[in-house]
Amino acid sequence: MTDHSIIFFDIDGTLYNHDKKVPKSTKDAVFSLKERGHDVAIATGRAPFMFKDLREELEIDTFVSYNGQYVVLRGEVIYTNPLNKAALQSLTDLALLHEHAVVYMDHEDMKASAPNNEMITTSMGTLKLKHLPSHDPVYYKGREIYQALLFCQEDEEHYYESVCKAFDLIRWHPNSVDVVPHGGSKAKGIAKITEKLRVPPERQYAFGDGLNDVVMLRTIVNSVSMGNGVPEAKAAAKYITKPVDEDGIFHGLKMVGLL
């Protein structure tokens, strides 16, 4: 069993500020953790190809992506949990019927069911990615899809929730929800890593701010919500630190005694 701790960080609103940059205090804090012998990992709803630059910047090779559905430990894939193919076909059929777009995501790429969709451009544009998904309405066929994005308004998602029981829908933007396997979460992905490394619960830490962090913050013993976190994240966490743009990571790590 390890004598060191492992710390999982969400990306958007946690490692990244609202300009999708890592504050200097955050970067310094991450490297200070490593110098002290701790393991540093990422836990995000993003696809692996969406944060390759961040992993290189922070020299991190352990991560939970797709909200727990694609897990990598020290550069090696140790767990995958793709979407049920039949259920994804049903979701696709419903989305087509209601003229809602879907983006399908595997470990290498993402494709959209509709071309030039304004809701895709508006919501995914906030992530400041190098490329938005191109059009391929059958990308989900014949491959493992680990997460989908459904583009609909908040008052429209309840219909999908009532019909698509195989999936959980987690809103990340007014125009979009993450579609993940029912019961899938960052917490379950984290468990795959901590079990392999034999890290006891008291040495596990997690930082987050969004709705997709709630289960993680509720599950991990030493959980920290960012000051800019949604109310649900703050309620789930053991600690609340300052906002990301106010050296929130640094202050949170000081608060829990890691720095």
- On whether both 115 and 158 belong to a single domain, the answer is yes
Listed in sequence order, the residues at least 6 apart from 254 whose beta carbon sits closer than 8 Å to its beta carbon are none
Looking at the structure, do residues 57 and 124 belong to the same domain, yes or no?
Answer: no
Confidence band (pLDDT; 50, 70, 90) for 3?
A: confident
- Convert the pLDDT of each residue in 82-136 to its tens digit: 999 999 999 999 999 999 999 999 999 999 999 999 999 999 999 999 899 999 9
> Within this chain, do residues 110 and 230 fall inside the same structural domain, yes or no?
no
- Identify the active-site residue in 10, 168, 213, 247: 10
Among 117, 152, 181, the domain-final residue is: 181
Number of independent structural domains in the chain: 2
Active site residue 106: no
Domain of 115, in residue numbers: 85-181
Find the CATH number of the domain harbouring 217. 3.40.50.1000
pLDDT in tens, 126-167: 999 989 999 999 999 999 999 999 999 999 999 999 999 999
For residues 38 and 159, state if they share a domain.
no
Residues 9-28 pLDDT 10s = 999 999 999 999 999 999 99
User: What tokens were used for 180?
Assistant: 């993940």
pTM of this structure: 0.95
Query: Average pLDDT of 50-63?
Result: 98
Residue 122 resides in a domain: yes
| Mean pLDDT estimate for the chain | 96
Q: Tell me whether residue 34 is in a domain.
A: yes
